[in-house]
Amino acid sequence: IQMTQSPSSLSASVGDRVTITCRASQSISNYLNWYQEKPGKAPKLLIYAASNLQSGVPSRFSGSGSGTDFTLTISSLQPEDLATYYCQQTYSTPWTFGQGTKVEIK
Amino acid sequence: QMQLQESGPGLVKPSQTLSLTCTVSGGSFSRGGYYWSWIRQHPGKGLEWIGYIAYSGTTYYNPSLKSRGAISIDTSKDQFSLNLSSVTAADTAVYYCARVRATTSAYFDYWGQGTLITVSS
């Protein structure tokens, strides 16, 4: 299953609402996860099963969608959100990731 | 707090076998409902899932590896390992180990810090 994220990169100001989209090549129900990768660090789980916030993750992060179209929203962008964000499907093996969306701070 | 730590050679020669180990601490390695997985990231690229092993020993590999991968588990040491045979420069990447929580869905909730493996003569 191919996962396509858009945009590939974005630049936004602190406090902005940021939305990242992930589209699956076939229906994956809600088997969709989001990860945050900061420079030089391992990826960190943000959202699992499309809309469930992982423990310890700030509430400004939220996820939605089902079937083929999903979104990750950062309600108020913070400087520490500088990172690359990946979606991942675990509906069927081989599990696959999107190509990533790089978020920069203006 | 669960922690995972990869260990490996850093540099591997082409055609040789890459061997990596992930040591798990701070949690129960033998609990059901979890898989133990390897993921890699080529320089400047995205994430590629390699495969997983369950505590029972059941494995699954990404077909992209073309049958070169083998994941094993040592429950006595709370470790699992990846062997990747016949490596080429295309296997140069940061390799991560991770725990997969597998209940009604599956997601990678704990990751190691990653280890860079370079394939070069």
The contact set of A with B (CB < 8 A) is 30-31, 33, 35, 41-45, 48-49, 54, 86, 88, 90, 93-100
Rg (CA), chain B: 14
pLDDT 10s digits, A15-40: 999 999 999 999 999 999 999 999 88
Q: For an interface test with B, which of A95, A97, A99 has the most B Cβ atoms less than 10 Å from its Cβ? A: A95
| C-alpha closest to that of B101 among B92, B93, B110 | B110
CB contact under 8 Å between A96 and B49, yes or no, is yes
pLDDT 10s digits, B76-107: 999 999 999 999 999 999 999 999 999 889 99
User: What pLDDT is stored for residue B59 in this prediction?
Assistant: 95
CB contact under 8 Å between A35 and B108, yes or no, is yes
User: What pLDDT is stored for residue B93 in this prediction?
Assistant: 97
Chain B nearest C-alpha distance from A79 (Å): 22
User: What pLDDT is stored for residue B15 in this prediction?
Assistant: 97
Which amino acid is it at A36? Answer: Q
CB contact under 8 Å between A42 and B62, yes or no, is no
**CA pair distance A86, A46, nearest whole angstrom:** 10
Give the confidence band of A85 by pLDDT, cuts at 50, 70, 90.
very high
User: What pLDDT is stored for residue B56 in this prediction?
Assistant: 87
CB B6 within 8 A of CB B81: no
CB contact under 8 Å between B111 and A30, yes or no, is no
CB contact under 8 Å between A97 and B111, yes or no, is no
Residues in chain B closer than 8 A to A33 (CB atoms): 105, 107-108
User: What pLDDT is stored for residue B29 in this prediction?
Assistant: 73
Residues in chain B closer than 8 A to A41 (CB atoms): 113
User: What pLDDT is stored for residue B88 in this prediction?
Assistant: 97
Mean pLDDT of A51-56: 97
The two tokens of residue B99 are: 């725990």
User: What pLDDT is stored for residue B30 in this prediction?
Assistant: 76
User: What pLDDT is stored for residue A22 in this prediction?
Assistant: 98
Show the low-confidence residues of chain B (pLDDT under 70).
none
User: What pLDDT is stored for residue B116 in this prediction?
Assistant: 97
Count of CB atoms situated within 10 Å of the CB of B6 = 23
- Give the residue on A whose Cα is nearest the Cα of B63: A94
Residues in chain B closer than 8 A to A89 (CB atoms): none
Is residue A77 pLDDT above 90, yes or no?
A: yes
User: What pLDDT is stored for residue B119 in this prediction?
Assistant: 98
Is residue A98 pLDDT above 80, yes or no?
A: yes
Handedness of CA B36, B26, A87, B85 (dihedral sign): negative
